[in-house]
Amino acid sequence: MRIGALEAGGTKMVCAIGDENGNIIEQESFPTLSPEETIPGLVEWFRTRNIEALGIGCFGPVDLNKKSATYGYITTTPKPNWANTDVFGAFKCLGVPIGFDLDVNASAIGEYTWGIGKGLSSIVYVTVGTGVGAGVIIDDRLIHGMIHAEAGHILLTRHPSDLEYKGHCPFHRNCIEGLCAGPAVAERWGKPGKELADDMRVWELEAYYLGQMCVDFALAYSPDRIILGGGIMHQTQLLPLIRKEFKEQLGGYLKSAEIDDLDSYIVVQSMDDKQGIMGAVKLGLDAMKEA
């Protein structure tokens, strides 16, 4: 089986061919320029590869309402040139079933299908990178709701030592993305996170917020596991600090065997950063089944 997969990101487009067993047969990346400069080349890449279906995990916000006239569009993104772009429609000319979802939802599906979420019924997958987003699967169903979850913008309580920083989100002073994403780390501390690996002040503050975020997700969604991915999580010193903050800030409120075993309750992504593209393969497989 040859399933096309596209992980459409704000800086790069990852195209792949995968199969029903979770193998990637071929993969290639292209820079994200304007839609006119980028999309036709991607369509051609898939057209020449004899695919049976296509799955797309796309940066957002996107319209996921199948009854909407703008289903499959990127809607209000601040990324120049990409607002109101019909991503789904651009690939219809391939004549194969197409599955379409938000990028972080695809990553959640990837981990749930083939990664460290396999066998569980409820997970939250969080990416902490250039932005913060969360894909939520509860009782074996991905949550969409009104638009789609935008849990990366949940508001947080500030650390008492951190009342001055203005935050990096143009919409909120105190949201997760604005306090914790890569650009916020770089702005607050004057250099990117990967150059700050030895500065524990950076990671203790980061863990304070990400631990609080995990408390919020555990309370709101009751997942069996919280999976953290994205570039910031490459800082391996961060995970134990997040677990410690989670335990402290939860205050013993939730009681379950899962939460008692924090080392397996809060974990990092398990697919070598391929969870997004693999989730897109699954979206393609599901679209083929529904067709």
Footprint of Zn ion (CB under 5 A): 153, 169, 171-172, 175, 178
Compare residues 42 and 175 and give the one whose CB is closer to Zn ion: 175
**Tokens 């049976």 identify what position?**
52
CB of 151 to Zn ion, least distance (A): 11
**Widest distance between CA atoms in the chain:** 57
CB of 35 to Zn ion, least distance (A): 25
Compare residues 153 and 274 and give the one whose CB is closer to Zn ion: 153
Compare residues 178 and 229 and give the one whose CB is closer to Zn ion: 178
Question: Residue 13 in 3-state DSSP?
Answer: strand
Asked if 7 and 57 touch (Cβ cutoff 8 Å), the reply is yes
Tell me how far apart the alpha carbons of residues 48 and 15 are, in angstroms, rounded to a whole number. 12
Compare residues 128 and 288 and give the one whose CB is closer to Zn ion: 128
The crossing angle, in degrees rounded to 10, of helices 238-250 and 200-221 is 50
Residue 284's identity, in one-letter code, is G
Compare residues 175 and 205 and give the one whose CB is closer to Zn ion: 175
CA 193 to chain centre: 19
Compare residues 158 and 172 and give the one whose CB is closer to Zn ion: 172
Please compute Rg for the chain using Cα positions.
19
CB of 134 to Zn ion, least distance (A): 13
Tell me how far apart the alpha carbons of residues 162 and 173 are, in angstroms, rounded to a whole number. 12
Q: List the one residue out of 91, 63, 89 whose CA is nearest residue 76.
A: 63
CB of 29 to Zn ion, least distance (A): 28
CB of 209 to Zn ion, least distance (A): 13
CB of 287 to Zn ion, least distance (A): 31
Q: Are strands 266-268 and 225-229 parallel, antiparallel or unpaired?
A: parallel
Tell me how far apart the alpha carbons of residues 114 and 122 are, in angstroms, rounded to a whole number. 14
Give the burial string for 22-45 (b: 16+ CB within 10 Å, else e).
Answer: beeeeeeeeebeebeebbeebeeb
Tell me how far apart the alpha carbons of residues 223 and 4 are, in angstroms, rounded to a whole number. 30
CB of 115 to Zn ion, least distance (A): 27
Compare residues 111 and 216 and give the one whose CB is closer to Zn ion: 216
